[in-house]
């Protein structure tokens, strides 16, 4: 476990020492803050549902920027050889990178709780949908971070890792739109794979264990793929 905590510590330092994490967090907060203020002044509804969808959309673009370097950079710089020849498990290397990526995204999402505080101070929001919305965002982030990590494990090029992750994330987000054109068993499969269809209940205050299970299973599957990619040498 000493190795795992050292790896997590190193990953967090690397992420936060580089300007990219701070720039991403700044841009993210700027955009969501602008949208929150504008919507609140126009509608005067004490809800964060629109913010949750907007944050989810931004995550599809921002998470790949955070995850692109996680393994691709180690491969490019040759330090992956140093890591994998040290007496640490491949699973610990992958887990440390996943947890570090999640830490950045959760900090980002957590900072938007300021909007909920504003709603609480000046209005009477329903807190149930706000809690479920944040849980949904955390689960969606988990799937996206692990997906980005898995893609990053296959290449030494960060740009390729980011573009491929954005492509897969957007496809999974809107894959239910394809479902209408398909016969019944396939239609249900495609709807069940849709990140949007899985996230919507959380954002609107309904929570289903099947949706939470979907996000957790896709996270585990992607982490497993990342580990297999590292072992394939």
Could you tell me the two tokens for 128?
Answer: 């149930």
Instruction: Report if residue 209 touches another protein, rule: CB under 8 A.
Output: no
How far, in Å, are 53, 128, 214 from residue 210 at the CA level? Answer: 20, 19, 6
Q: Which is nearer to another protein, 83 or 137 (CB)?
A: 83
Instruction: Report if residue 81 touches another protein, rule: CB under 8 A.
Output: yes
Minimum CB–partner distance for residue 89 and another protein (Å) = 7
Q: Which is nearer to another protein, 9 or 126 (CB)?
A: 9
Instruction: Report if residue 23 touches another protein, rule: CB under 8 A.
Output: no
Interface with another protein: number of residues (CB under 8 A): 23
Minimum CB–partner distance for residue 71 and another protein (Å) = 14
What phi, psi does 89 have (nearest 5°)? -75, 145
Q: Which is nearer to another protein, 20 or 216 (CB)?
A: 20
Contact with another protein (CB under 8 A) among 83, 144, 166, 229? 83
Instruction: Report if residue 22 touches another protein, rule: CB under 8 A.
Output: no
Contacts of 42 (CB under 8 A, 6+ apart): none
Q: Which stretch binds another protein (CB under 8 A): 35-43, 44-52, 81-89, 177-185?
A: 81-89
Contact with another protein (CB under 8 A) among 12, 14, 20, 91? 14
Instruction: Report if residue 99 touches another protein, rule: CB under 8 A.
Output: no
Instruction: Report if residue 87 touches another protein, rule: CB under 8 A.
Output: yes
Instruction: Report if residue 186 touches another protein, rule: CB under 8 A.
Output: no
Residue ranges binding another protein (CB under 8 A): 2-3, 5-7, 9-10, 14, 17-18, 77-79, 81-89, 233
């Amino acid at each position: 476990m000493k190795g795992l905590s050292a790896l997590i510590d190193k990953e967090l330092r690397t992420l936060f020492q580089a300007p990219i994490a701070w720039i991403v967090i700044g841009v993210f907060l700027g955009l969501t803050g602008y949208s929150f203020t504008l919507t609140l002044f126009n509608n005067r509804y004490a809800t964060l549902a629109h913010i949750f969808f907007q944050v989810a959309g931004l995550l599809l673009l921002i998470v790949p920027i955070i995850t692109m370097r996680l393994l691709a950079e180690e491969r490019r710089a040759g330090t992956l050889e140093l890591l994998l020849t040290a007496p640490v498990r491949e699973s610990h290397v992958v887990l440390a990178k996943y947890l570090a990526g999640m830490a950045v995204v959760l900090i980002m999402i957590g900072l938007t709780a300021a909007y909920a505080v504003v709603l609480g101070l000046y209005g009477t929001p329903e807190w149930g949908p706000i809690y479920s919305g944040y849980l949904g965002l955390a689960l969606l982030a988990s799937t996206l971070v692990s997906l980005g990590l898995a893609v990053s494990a296959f290449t030494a090029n960060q740009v390729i890792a980011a573009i491929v992750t954005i492509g897969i994330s957007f496809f999974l987000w809107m894959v239910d739109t394809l479902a209408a054109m398909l016969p019944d068993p396939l239609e249900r499969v495609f709807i069940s794979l849709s990140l949007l269809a899985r996230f919507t209940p959380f954002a609107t205050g309904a929570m289903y264990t099947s949706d939470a299970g979907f996000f957790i299973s896709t996270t585990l599957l992607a982490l497993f793929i990342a580990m297999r990619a590292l072992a394939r040498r």
